[in-house]
Structure 1
Amino acid sequence: MSEGNASGGPTRRQRRAALGRSRQDSEPWIQNEGHAPPAGVGDPSLVDSVRRAVLAGTVQATGAAFADAVGSSGRLLGSEGTLTALDRVRAELAGLGPLEHLLAEDSITDILVNGPDDVWIDGAGGLRRIGRVFETEEQVRSLAVRLVAAGGRRLDDGCPAVDVRLEGLRVHAVLPPVSTAGTLLSIRIRRDRAFSLAELVDGGTVSHLMAEALRLIMRRRLNFLVSGATGTGKTTLLSALLGLADPQERIVLVEDAAELNPDHPHALGLQSRYGNLEGAGVFDLTELVRQALRMRPDRLVVGECRGAEVRELLAAMNTGHDGGGGTIHANSAGAVPARLSALAALAGLVPEVLALQASTALDVVVHLVRTERGRRVESIGLLELVDGRGLVVRPVLLDTGEECRPADGWSDFTARVGWCEPVAGQAHPVKCGSGPVVSRPTSSGTRP
């Protein structure tokens, strides 16, 4: 992916990361994981003076104006102190305040604030508490109100729970008395970097045998769902899979909040929109799927199926739009049919109609789990309609964390994608009829 903007300069994300690194250089406490900043870092009175100047209209909310305001404050800060003060002013007035430095850590995916003295982060290392970051409850509430306002909505006693999207962030805030623990902030960070399937294999998320199966799913344009619980890596895997699509294909992404960033030259996204204070102007996922069908997609992808839009997606997959997919929340692969039934009920589909639609529209369910050892693709299964049982997911491959082995649906799956080599076959590529050439792992499917 490109490392700069169109003019050749650094992107805003790169400048934000550089800001975090400069704070790490000037504020060593940031490097000590699990420790909050010591009291007295920065000058609150300086921040307040710049804030008042911005509200009065004498200082614009830009980086250059902040620098001028800090420089003209009359305080003898020195070069290092000036940079530290400028970083603090920027973070407090245009960033995440005391949380800004966390954006520079690429492994962090979520920031969870449960009050001034209870802040957690989630990422590659799992959920971790970093202790006290804010000084007062008022500071947390002020940050929440400012972030929500930046997203074009309001957060107050009349609207105490709000979800907004900012550049690279998704922010959810809840105020008391709806919250019983003070102001709550949940911040999801969207990283610009997209992982390839090979990187996920190297990281242990996908076994070699699973990776070959996923490549064939994309090459043969099977329709698929990526399932899993919250934080299992569904969006990351979906982005990696879309990066395998033919560069000549046009991919249209439909999302509630833009998170997918596939490494593909012709992928474009549609994002839902909330209504205004009068409730007008709503663009939900159902309408976006309808609009996407008019945009000549080769692959239609719904970032997360969570409501009535599942009806439109299944209808599209049943009318010639192959190779599409999406994600769905489910505790197991076997629970996906029940989740589909629940979502279809929101769209007015009876179970019998849903079963017929889904069995002909969807081919494969890819399920992820998250354990103490990390995230991994646990299974690949075929979605089928069985007499007397309705929709079921028949396992094709199962990864226990120690080994990846074929399951009951293996032979049907390999026939469907043209992969006829036995699991314990040679270590050399084998061609099966007109199917693709695939390389087998040297062991019998065990993870390295």
Structure 2
Amino acid sequence: MMPSNINTGNGSNPQATYLECMKNENVLKAFENVRREIYAQADASFYTLLQSGKDKNAAKQQLKKVIVDVMSKEPSAIPLNRAQKDAIVNALLEDMLGYGPIQPLLDDPEVSEVMVVRKDLIYYEKNGIIYKSDITFRDEEHVRTIIQKIVSPLGRRIDESTPLVDARLPDGSRVNAVIPPVAIDGACITIRKFGKKFTAEELVKSGSIDEVSLELLKKFVQGRLNILIIGGTGSGKTTLLNVLSSFIPPTERIVTIEDSAELQLQQEHVVRLEARPPNIEGKGEITIQTLVKNALRMRPDRIIVGECRGGEALDMLQAMNTGHEGSITTLHANSPRDAISRLTVMVLMSGQELPHKAIKEQIAAAVDLIVQVARMRDGKRRVIKMSEVVGLNTEGDVEVVDIMDFKIHGTDENGKIIGRLEPTGYIPSFLEKLAWYGIEVPVEVFQKKYKK
């Protein structure tokens, strides 16, 4: 069931604001008249105000005075009531200072993703569930204008010759935009919001993992296991990576490498690196693979790669095998065994002509633990599996054995899944490595009869 409005935290109803402006012809006509008049009277100070990002609330109050002043001096021949005038003011503020009709969705702390399918079809994800919104853009040009507003400050370009673009908002939210001819039904935008940093305690409280299992992962991180976090899109990989990274001792030097900066490490000794796409001339690209190679020259104790997608997988594996134990990365995969297959393909993408056997040996020697996360049918993101990479079996394939597996025991009256991570009975061989670093894990934790 779709909610009737979206809570922005200030008691207003932003959907009603835009519905009134976009669906009432008189209000829309008045909106366009006022907007046109504002830009016609604009001077340099007006554009400076629009570009001011230091104090958004102050800029909003100043701009509101400008809008109200224009509306009072240029009374429209169209009769408008107070509510309609307020709607026009709010719509203009969102258009000029924010990102148009989707700004209320971006302001809602409970909304994690905004998806513009076309000008009149917008969806959003809230608490793990996707809803259809009633808000719309005025027209196709309005969508294009908002896209340009997002990418222009970053020096990115989007047009018919380059109809795809990745960008990020000032708060770190990831943006992907696609326009025709690639997007057949019109320009579309996908925004993955930069959510608040989850603490370990909040992760347990949310039901994503139980306290005992999280304590296990904490020991695995402190014991310098090389960890691979896997899952589908939006399954919570980066959230878990942030939490696991918080367990790294503050005495260690960490280098993070990301395609789009999302990690929020709290340690002081952190070097953050971000990949860069090519410029308009097609030059200046800096790939994750290049950054991983460079990171090896920066004396890191641990390397954290936000996501492995291609040839950088080989450099990451080599880093794990050459004294940078305790490194962590993520990748898209639907199971631990699928992750091994994907890693193999990624290594082949590096351009190095390595035999499959050598690649499998690299993976088996480098990766200690695979942690799988998933967004389940009730919308909740959970850790559903922990698996050890044991080594190569007699057939030369990488052997993966599950340590913990999520068992579903039913659903409650609200449709929420009841279940937990349970030990499989397998005792991982890396306990000796943990002990070498002074980390003791009781064997009983891995026994099937162990009660959490």
TM over 0.5: yes
Name 1:48's counterpart in structure 2. 36
Secondary structure (helix, strand or coil) at the match of 2:282 reads: coil
Distance in 2 separating the partners of 1:281 and 1:83: 47
2:385 maps to 379
Structure 1: distance between partners of 2:422 and 2:304: 29
Given candidates 372, 395, 410, the residue that maps to 1:367 is: 372
* Structure 2: stretches of 5+ with no match in the other structure: 1-6, 53-58, 76-80, 409-418, 435-439
SS at match of 2:441: coil
Displacement, 1:28? 2.6
The answer as to whether partners of 1:228 and 1:234 remain within 8 angstroms in 2 is: yes
SS of residue matched to 2:201: helix
Report if the CA contact (8 A) 1:209-1:404 is conserved. no
Compared CA separation, residues 377 and 58, structure 1 to 2 (3 A): closer
SS of the residue corresponding to residue 167 of structure 2 reads strand
Match of 1:114 among 97, 114, 117: 117
Post-superposition CA distance 1:332-355 (Å, at most 9, x none): 122111010110110134322211
Letter in 2 for 1:46: V
Query: For 1:181-200, what aligned pairs fall within 5 Å after superposition?
Result: 181-191=185-195, 193-200=196-203
Structure 1 residue 31, shift from structure 2 partner: 8.5
| 1:351 matched to 2:356 | yes
Letter in structure 2 aligned against 1:177: P
CA distance in 2 between counterparts of 1:101 and 1:365 reads 38
CA contact (8 A) 2:357 2:396 kept: no
Equivalent positions of 1:37-436 (< 5 A) are: 39=24, 40=27, 43-52=31-40, 59-60=47-48, 61=50, 62=52, 63=59, 66-67=63-64, 69-70=66-67, 72-75=69-72, 88-167=91-170, 168-191=172-195, 193-347=196-350, 348=352, 349-373=354-378, 374-383=380-389, 384-401=391-408, 402-407=419-424, 409-417=426-434, 418-423=440-445
Q: Is the 1:121–1:128 contact (alpha carbons within 8 Å) kept by the matching residues of 2?
A: yes
Cα displacement (A) at 1:234: 0.2
What is the CA deviation profile of residues 241-272 of structure 1, one whole-angstrom value per residue up to 9, with x for unaligned ones? 10111122222110000111133333332111
**Cα deviation digits, residues 87-111 of structure 1 (max 9, x gap):** 5444313421111111222222211
* Offset at residue 211 of structure 1 (A): 1.0
Q: SS in structure 1 opposite 2:70?
A: coil
Q: Which moved more, 1:49-58 or 1:369-378?
A: 49-58
Contact residue 35 and residue 131 of structure 1 kept, 8 A: no
2-structure distance, mates of 1:70, 1:55? 14
Q: 1:108 to 1:359 in 2, by over 3 A?
A: same
The CA deviation at 1:379 is 0.7
Contact 1:30 1:37 in 2 (8 A): no
Whole-Å separation in 1 of the counterparts to 2:317 and 2:21: 48
- Say if 1:115 and 1:223 are closer, same or farther in 2 by CA, change over 3 A: same
Change (3 A) 1:424 1:332: closer
Aligned partner of residue 185 in structure 1, secondary structure = strand
**1:84 positional shift:** 6.8
The farther-off stretch of 258-267 and 38-47 is: 38-47
Say whether the 8 Å CA contact 2:20–2:87 is kept in structure 1: no
Structure 1 runs not aligned, ≥5 long: 1-18, 426-442
**What is the percent sequence identity of the aligned residues?**
29
In structure 2, distance between residues paired with 1:82 and 1:291: 56
Give the total of aligned pairs: 407
CA shift in 2, pair 1:393/1:56, >3 Å: same
Equivalent pair of 2:150/2:168 in contact (CA under 8 Å): no
**SS at 1:423's partner residue?**
helix
Q: Are 1:227 and 1:367, in contact at CA under 8 Å, matched by a contact in 2?
A: yes
Query: Displacement of 1:125 after TM fit?
Result: 3.3
Q: Is the CA contact (8 Å cut-off) linking 1:208 and 1:445 kept in structure 2?
A: no
* C-alpha distance in 2 between matches for 1:176 and 1:424: 54
CA gap of 1:404–1:172, structure 2 versus 1, over 3 A, is closer
TM-score by length of 2: 0.81
Deviation per residue, 1:305-349 (Å, 9 max, x gap): 001111111111111011111101001122111010110110134
Note closer, same or farther for the CA distance 1:159–1:403 as it changes in structure 2 (3 Å cut).
closer
| Per-residue deviation, 1:47 | 3.1
Match of residue 10 from structure 1:
none
- Contact 1:254–1:288 (Cα < 8 Å) also in 2: yes
The C-alpha deviation readout for 1:362-385, integer Å capped at 9, x for no partner, is 110000111123111111111132
Determine the C-alpha separation between the residues in 2 that align with 1:31 and 1:323.
51
Query: Once structures 1 and 2 are overlaid, which stretch shifts more, 128-137 or 180-189?
Result: 128-137
Q: The residue matched to 2:47 in structure 1 has which SS?
A: coil
Q: Deviations over 1:30-70 (max 9, x none)?
A: 489x9997644893433333445569886322327635633
Please state how far the C-alpha of 1:149 moved relative to its aligned partner: 2.0
Equivalent-residue separation in structure 2 for 1:80 and 1:266 (angstroms): 53
Partner SS, residue 173 of structure 1? strand
Q: What RMSD over aligned residues (CA atoms) do the two structures have, in Å? A: 3.2
**Letter in structure 2 aligned against 1:146:** K
